[in-house]
Amino acid sequence: MNGTIVGGWEYIWAAYLVTWGSLALYALSLVWRARKAKSGEPQPGSKP
Amino acid sequence: MQKALDVGLPIVAIVFLVVGGVLGLTVAPADKDMGDVYRIMYVHVPAAWAALLAVTVTFVASLVYLLKNNWHADALGEASAEVGVFFGALLIVLGSIWARPTWGVWWDWDPRLTTAAILLFAFAGYLALRRFVDDPERRATWAAVAAIVAYVDVPILWFSVRWWRTLHQIQNTGESTHSVMTKSLLWNALAFALLYVWFVRLRYRVALARQAEELAEPPETEPAHTPAP
């Protein structure tokens, strides 16, 4: 079968928004966890 | 230097992401078969490379831990595995978004997709294992062995598109693509590589802090008997 896929920009924007959004959220979570670790708060998984 | 890296890495990565995004979404020409949908490759492929880099670092760190009993290697392995699971999950979601308009399905049990899913679940299992084992030495040893076993999937994943010619296409070479396409991919790949380094640095600190907490805990001993007066 020959031919070019036409359109599909909604998928492209969805992919870029998922990428940028998840990168931002994961970065924020890591910054928050690293700050918590620096301040000496107990880490998740450590014994109470 | 540490502070400069903490601030500089994300800033440079964001600049690279913006340049890669503009090139990939507006400047690069449409593909002759896939049309515009192929532009998802500019984020899908860098996510794959970042995930593979992450699990490779965990694999090497695990070997170093087992050979040298080095706690920094254990912390690095943990940090890189979590970042690898993040990029691996992103890789699969982006691949699925691309597959729908291209293949007509969100998912197919193609060897490349299946081995990618196995890798993701194997390293998610590695992280789960770390949560379940309380003893730090036992946890580090078991996790290192698990990472080395899980890493066996990486060469199978990489060569799957050559060994089994099914739905997923083989890797393109620079010769078969327009130079702007290659540049768009490289800008995004560099951005993802920098973000990988930044993420691992942050997560490594969390792992080290937990290690310090655990190693500082006094050993559990029988309570001393108060001598009778």
For residue B131, tell me if it sits in a domain: yes
For residue B116, tell me if it sits in a domain: yes
**CA-wise closest residue to B140 among B208, B54, B51, B50:** B208
pLDDT tens digits, B23-52: 999 999 888 888 899 999 999 999 999 999
Q: How many CB atoms lie within 10 A of CB B57?
A: 19
pLDDT tens digits, B55-83: 999 999 999 999 999 999 999 999 999 99
Interface touch A12/B90, C-beta < 8 Å: no
Band the pLDDT of A48: cuts 50, 70, 90: very low
pLDDT at B193: 98
Chain A residues touching B16 at Cβ < 8 A: none
- Secondary structure (DSSP) of B3-72: HHHHHHHHHHHHHHHHHHHHIIIIISPPBTTTBTGGGGHHHHHHHHHHHHHHHHHHHHHHHHHHHH--HH
Predicted interface score ipTM higher than 0.90 = no
Percentage of chain B surpassing pLDDT 90? 73
> Which residues lie across from B35 on neighbouring strands?
B31
Average pLDDT, chain B: 90
pLDDT at A15: 97
In the block, residue with structure tokens 């998610």: B124
For residue B14, tell me if it sits in a domain: yes
**B32 contacts B174 by C-beta, under 8 angstroms:** no
Count of domains observed in chain B: 1
pLDDT tens digits, B89-139: 999 999 999 999 999 999 999 999 999 999 999 999 999 999 999 899 999
> Which residues lie across from B31 on neighbouring strands?
B35
Chain B residues touching A8 at Cβ < 8 A: 35-37, 101
Q: How far is CA B47 from the centre of its chain?
A: 8
Angstroms from A21 CA to nearest CA on chain B: 11
- Secondary structure (DSSP) of B69-136: --HHHHHHHHHHHHHHHHHHHHHHHHHHHHHHHHHSSS----HHHHHHHHHHHHHHHHHHHHHH--SH
Kindly identify which residue of chain A lies nearest to residue B17, measuring between CA atoms. A20
pTM reported for the whole predicted model: 0.89
Could you give the CA distance from residue B23 to residue B193 in angstroms, rounded to a whole number? Answer: 18
Residue B94 vs residue A42, higher pLDDT: B94
Confidence check: pLDDT of B150 > 90: yes
Evaluate the CA torsion angle A20, A23, A29, A31 in order and state its sign.
negative
Interface touch B131/A45, C-beta < 8 Å: yes
Range of the domain at B126: 9-27+35-170+194-207
